[in-house]
Amino acid sequence: MSEPSKEELLARIAQLELENEQLKQQNGKKSQHEQFNKIDDNFSLDEYKRYGRQMIVPQFGSLESQIKLKNSKVLVVGAGGLGSPALLYLSSAGIGKIGIIDPDTVDTSNLHRQVIHNTEMVGEFKCISAQNYINKLNPHVVVEVYPTALNNDNAFGIVSQYDLVLDCTDHPAVRYLINDVCVLLGKTIVSGSGLKSDGQLTVLNFANSGPCYRCFYPQPPSPDSVTSCSDGGVIGPAIGLVGVAMAVETIKIITGYYTKDNFVPFLTSYSAYPRQQLRVFKMRKRQKDCAVCGENPQISQRMIEDGTINYKTFCGRATFDPIDDKFRVSPKDYDSVVQNKKKHILIDVRPREQFQITHLPNAINVQWDPTFRKADAIEQYYQMIPPKMMRFMLFAGLEMIRNWSLKSL
């Protein structure tokens, strides 16, 4: 038998290479099919029915994105006006594990806006109340609860277990703590805030490369300028809208809609009055001189855990000018004044809205203005306020005006 020629050998080699390539392609298709079969086995028929409507949305990313949601772990700090709607939609969307941390209990005054709670849960920890609701809403979601405040001691241990954090708090000190811990652990933050009828939303430390909270606010706001929902009031649906938007941003981040190439730092601002407005502002990038994410960071995990960084001290506390006891009158003593028909004028310095809700009989509403504290403003308001209200000027720090004395009730 004659030896094959060089041309025949080359032809045979080419044929074998072609067959080998065909086999590779076939094996690749088989492996991919087996992979999807494995994915399919992880999803029940109920899950396909439950998430089907969102999986067919082109921007969402089909089954692959649903897998990412199922494998994700999200921590929600605060189960109040922002956290409640965010939790509802994240659990409905199929987040695999949700952690909820909140030290507060459900109060009746919460129910008009914190929609994950109900009347039967008044007095229960908010995180446990939310867990009960989610378990009924979607049994495929694992819920971990932390009925405690996030602090220097536990923050790293809790946050490190999750892929992403939703900041739904209303305390500047906690916001800075969340920010610093997440930056040091490389976690993205979806941050929201709301008061009265306005709200804001942003994404911080995206992919551990975007700007953080300290990039925007190197110094905390004045404690006297921070108003709580209990003092300033809140329109439930307005704040709820921000919470829902936070859930949307969370889904976009987890499913990979955002990348380092297409993500642009932003701040979304919502106002419900006088007409609804939704505006988006482009924000600056990560700052080189930032204390935690900059080129020369000044904050470390050790400094946080050993208490070197004291967030309450950093943010300060609201200052009060307490009234001396000699200028006070107790409710019992005031009742005696009324019963004995002693001449007096009762000035209610609360905002008009609160005064209209309830007030003592014969009270006169003169809203307090911080400018009254300024000495140069006294004379100006002296001319503007009717004689019967002159006694109100004592709130500016004067002990006696025209023989009128002040007692604070």
Beta strand segments in 67-197, E: 73-77, 97-101, 142-146, 164-167, 188-195
Domain count, the chain: 2
Same domain, residue pair 362 and 400: yes
Same domain, residue pair 375 and 250: no
Same domain, residue pair 289 and 332: no
Checking if the pLDDT of 291 tops 50, the result is yes
> What Cα–Cα distance (Å) separates residue 384 from each residue in 104, 106, 380?
45, 45, 7
Question: Domain for residue 234, yes or no?
Answer: yes
For residues 46-54, give the mean pLDDT: 93
Checking if the pLDDT of 375 tops 70, the result is no
Same domain, residue pair 337 and 204: no
% of the chain residues with pLDDT over 70: 73
* Residue-level pLDDT at 317: 62
First to last CA, the chain: 120
Q: Considering the chain, what is the average pLDDT of its residues?
A: 82
Residue with the larger pLDDT of the pair 227 and 347: 347
Same domain, residue pair 250 and 227: yes
Say how far apart CA 301 and CA 316 lie, in whole Å: 22
Q: Which residues contact 183 (CB under 8 A, 6 or more apart)?
A: 205, 208, 212, 292, 293
Burial tier of 67 (Cβ tally within 10 Å: 0-12, 13-18, 19+): middle
Residue with the larger pLDDT of the pair 353 and 341: 341
Same domain, residue pair 263 and 372: no
Contact 183, 212 (CB under 8 A): yes
Least confident of 25-34, 276-285, 357-366: 25-34
- pLDDT tens sequence across 119-148: 999 999 999 999 999 999 999 999 999 999
Checking if the pLDDT of 33 tops 50, the result is no
- pLDDT tens sequence across 55-66: 999 999 889 999
b/e string for 388-400 if b means 16 or more Cβ within 10 A?
eeebbbbbbeeee
* Residue-level pLDDT at 221: 72
- pLDDT tens sequence across 153-175: 999 999 999 999 999 998 899 99
Same domain, residue pair 259 and 287: yes
For residues 401-408, give the mean pLDDT: 53
Question: Domain for residue 5, yes or no?
Answer: no
* Residue-level pLDDT at 44: 87
Same domain, residue pair 133 and 172: yes
Give the pLDDT band of residue 38 (cuts 50, 70, 90): very low
* Residue-level pLDDT at 282: 93
Give the pLDDT band of residue 51 (cuts 50, 70, 90): very high
Question: Domain for residue 170, yes or no?
Answer: yes
Give the pLDDT band of residue 12 (cuts 50, 70, 90): low
Least confident of 111-120, 123-132, 222-231, 373-382: 373-382
Give the pLDDT band of residue 324 (cuts 50, 70, 90): low
Q: Domain holding 279: CATH number? A: 3.40.50.720
- pLDDT tens sequence across 75-118: 999 999 999 999 999 999 999 999 999 999 999 999 999 999 99
* Residue-level pLDDT at 19: 60
Same domain, residue pair 250 and 373: no
Query: Domain boundary at 262, 295, 315, which?
Result: 315
Query: Domain boundary at 283, 315, 347, which?
Result: 315
Whether the predicted model's global pTM rises above the 0.75 cut: no
Structural domain of residue 337, as residue ranges? 325-405
Same domain, residue pair 390 and 293: no
Same domain, residue pair 77 and 223: yes
For residues 280-296, give the mean pLDDT: 94
Same domain, residue pair 388 and 295: no
Query: Domain boundary at 266, 282, 315, which?
Result: 315
Checking if the pLDDT of 231 tops 70, the result is no
Checking if the pLDDT of 355 tops 60, the result is yes
